Structure 1
Amino acid sequence: MLKAYWKCFLYINNHKLNVLIECWKEGLYIQGIFHDMSKFSPKEFHPYAKKFFSNTKLTEAEELEWKYAWLHHQHNNKHHWEYWVVNPHTKEAVPMPTKYLIEMVCDWRSFSRKWGKRFKELDLDLTDTIILHNETKEKLKHFIKKGNKHEAKTNGELN
């Protein structure tokens, strides 16, 4: 299990570094540094390590422990859209402050960076899978478009 903990620790730090790079570009220095710190808590770290890095099938109890860890993560990190959902059945959410919205996009971009893909607006599905307040959806669409245009211009793709 020690090997699983080490792999999990390295994975979290790699993810945090990738998010830090994306947050730095947006001027979110403090958020970039403290992003996903809850993943180091025993409530999240142990279940994540068992599920993703132990190479063993989880028992029913361990699977439930991981689900609680995931809920803990979503409900304790404001960059997750789930944090802002009031009622998932009616798809009601409160507006997400811009700094957390940008951190959320930086989180998404970090996964693209990890797997060597470019983040594109078309990669987002804002219909039924993500519950956002209408104001937040509009901010998100605007931010993504602005970011892609800037990235394309920087790479010489726009005149």
Structure 2
Amino acid sequence: MLKAHCNYFLYILNHKLNVLIECWKEGLYIQGIIHDWSKFLPAEFFPYAKKFYSGIPLTLEDELKWQYAWLHHQHKNKHHWEYWVINPNTKEALPMPKKYVIEMVCDWRSFSRKWGKRVKDTTLNLTDSIVVHPETKRELDLLTTNQSKKARQAIEKR
């Protein structure tokens, strides 16, 4: 398991670096630094490492621990749209503050950085498959089509 823990730790560092680069472009310096710190907490770190890096099948208990870890992560990190959902059945959500909308898009962009691909509008626009407030959806549409500081500035002017 030590190898799994080390590999997951390196993954987190790489992810944080990629998000930091994207956040830096948008002027979100502090958010880029503190992004996903909860992944280092034992409640998240160990279940994630076991699920994704151990190479062994999870028991039902381990799978449940990972599900709790994922829920913990969503509820500790405001850049996750799930944090803002009031009722998933009625698709009711609070509007996300702009800085978290931008951080969420930076998080999405970071995955394309990880795999060495150029960020494409089509890979970023997930708004049809997630539950967000209509205002947040408009902001996401603007950010994912422009992918730049210009989009952020347009949102901030509202």
TM-score (norm 1): 0.90
Cα distance in 2 for partners of 1:61, 1:135 equals: 39
- Which residue of structure 2 lines up, in the alignment, with residue 40 of structure 1? 40
Distance 1:9 1:95 in 2: 32
Matches within 5 A, 1:10-159: 10-123=10-123, 124-127=125-128, 129-147=129-147
SS in 2 for 1:56: coil
Whole-angstrom CA distance in 1 between matches of 2:34 and 2:109: 17
Q: Given that residues 120 and 148 in structure 1 are in contact (C-alpha distance below 8 angstroms), is that contact kept between their aligned partners in structure 2?
A: no
Unaligned runs of 5+ in 1: 151-159
Give the Å deviation of 1:117: 1.8
Task: Report sequence identity in percent.
Answer: 68
- 1:148: how far off? 6.0
- Aligned equivalents of 1:99 and 1:149: distance in 2? 12
Work out the CA distance in 2 between the residues paired with 1:83 and 1:148: 24
Work out the CA distance in 2 between the residues paired with 1:149 and 1:32. 15
Q: How far apart, in 2, do the equivalents of 1:32 and 1:148 lie?
A: 16
Distance (Å, rounded) in 2 between the aligned partners of 1:101 and 1:26: 12
Gaps of 5+ in 2: 151-158
SS of 2:86's equivalent in the other structure is strand
For the Cα contact (< 8 Å) 2:25–2:149, is it kept in 1? Answer: no
CA contact (8 A) 2:93 2:132 kept: yes
| Aligned-CA RMSD value | 1.3
Please give the per-residue CA displacement for 1:44-94, whole angstroms capped at 9, x wherever unaligned: 000001001111001100000000000000111000000000000000000
Q: State the secondary structure of the residue aligned to 1:12.
A: helix
Contact 1:88 / 1:131 at 8 angstroms: preserved in 2? yes
Query: Larger deviation: 110-119 or 38-47?
Result: 110-119
TM-score of the two chains, using structure 2 as the length reference: 0.91
Whole-Å separation in 2 of the counterparts to 1:144 and 1:126? 10
> How many angstroms does 1:106 deviate by?
0.4
- How far 1:146 sits from its partner (Å)? 2.4
